[in-house]
């Protein structure tokens, strides 16, 4: 079986409750507004100032909408951080908000930033965010696709060779794990603190 359940995986929790209980959770939230801002729309902007969140705050433009948000440890309140960040963008980057179009949020885990990937057990393989693949830019689509492919190949290979699929998948996913952890280490080096 291949589990691609996203960050909150019931299969992961059932396979290893102790591992699950030792993970820290974070909450990420972002607003989508029509409006204007003088930050370069071609870049994803990260703000590592602790006043804006426990992890980092971000601003980018997607489909002509201003998208800004922040991440906090579960248990902390997001509103004071987000208000400070919004004020910062308004005062320093000429952000003017018109209509709110959408808001979105998600729960994540510190697997990605602490190198605690969980690739599965016995005949159950985990891919994508359920295995811990999410890079520091909040991007998880490409690693979900690539680890899904690696797991599928490992299963097909095991039918042909008789080799254990979990072990082949583990070998094949090393590069993706390194890429993910390196992105978080870079964020921590720039911030001068742990980010999750
Ligand atoms: C607001 C927001 C914006 C994002 N923007 C980007 C972006 O621009 N670029 C990028 O790369 N990433 C982005 N991400 C992250 C990206 O969406 C995820 O990292 C990626 O989708 C993870 O893929 P996945 O296949 O592991 O899990 P998911 O895409 O989360 O899919 C898991 C699926 O499994 C289902 N499921 C869960 N449990 C079970 C179960 N027990 N049985 C059956 N089905 C189950 C869920 O309903 C869901 O459909 C964003 C995330 C959010 C929340």
How far is ligand 1, taken at its centre, from the CA of residue 38, in Å?
30
How far is ligand 1, taken at its centre, from the CA of residue 6, in Å?
5
How far is ligand 1, taken at its centre, from the CA of residue 144, in Å?
9
What are 76's two structure tokens? 């902390």
pTM: 0.94
Give CA angle at 137 (132, 140), nearest 5°. 40
How far is ligand 1, taken at its centre, from the CA of residue 112, in Å?
15
pLDDT, one tens digit for every residue, the chain (196 residues): 999 999 999 999 999 999 999 999 999 999 999 999 999 999 999 999 999 999 999 999 999 999 999 999 999 999 999 999 999 999 999 999 999 999 999 999 999 999 999 999 999 999 999 999 999 989 999 999 999 999 999 999 999 999 999 999 999 999 999 999 999 999 999 999 988 8
Distance, in Å, from the CA atom of 131 to the CA atom of 117, rounded to the nearest integer, reads 6
Say which DSSP state 67 is in.
Answer: E
Burial state string for 40-51 with b = 16 or more CB within 10 A and e = fewer than 16 = eeeeebbbbeee
Nearest-CA residue for atom 6 of ligand 1? 139
Which of 93, 38, 41 is closest to 65 using CA atoms? 41
Burial of 105 (0-12, 13-18, 19+ CB in 10 A): exposed
Distance, in Å, from the CA atom of 24 to the CA atom of 187, rounded to the nearest integer, reads 18
Give residue limits of the domains in the chain.
Answer: 2-22+112-191, 25-109
Assigned fold of 25-109: D-Amino Acid Oxidase; Chain A, domain 2 (3.30.9)
Q: Which atom of ligand 1 lies closest to the CA of 127?
A: 26
Nearest-CA residue for atom 44 of ligand 1? 5
Which of 25, 80, 90 is closest to 52 using CA atoms? 80
């Amino acid at each position: 079986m291949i589990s691609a359940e996203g960050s909150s995986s019931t299969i992961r929790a059932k396979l290893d409750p102790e591992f699950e209980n030792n993970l820290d959770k974070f909450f990420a939230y972002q607003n989508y507004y029509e409006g204007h801002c003088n930050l370069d729309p071609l870049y994803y902007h990260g703000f590592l100032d602790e006043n804006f969140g426990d992890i980092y705050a971000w601003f980018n433009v997607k489909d002509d909408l201003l998208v800004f948000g922040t991440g906090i440890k579960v248990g902390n309140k997001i509103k004071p951080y987000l208000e400070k960040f919004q004020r910062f963008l308004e005062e320093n980057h000429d952000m003017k908000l018109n209509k709110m179009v959408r808001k979105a949020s998600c729960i994540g885990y510190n697997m990605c930033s602490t190198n605690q990937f969980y690739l599965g057990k016995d005949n159950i393989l985990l891919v994508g965010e359920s295995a811990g693949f999410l890079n520091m830019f909040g991007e998880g689509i490409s690693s979900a696709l690539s680890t899904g492919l690696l797991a599928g190949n490992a299963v097909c290979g095991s039918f042909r060779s008789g080799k254990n699929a979990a072990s082949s998948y583990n070998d094949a996913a090393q590069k993706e794990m390194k890429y993910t952890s390196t992105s978080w280490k870079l964020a921590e080096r720039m911030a001068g603190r742990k980010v999750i």
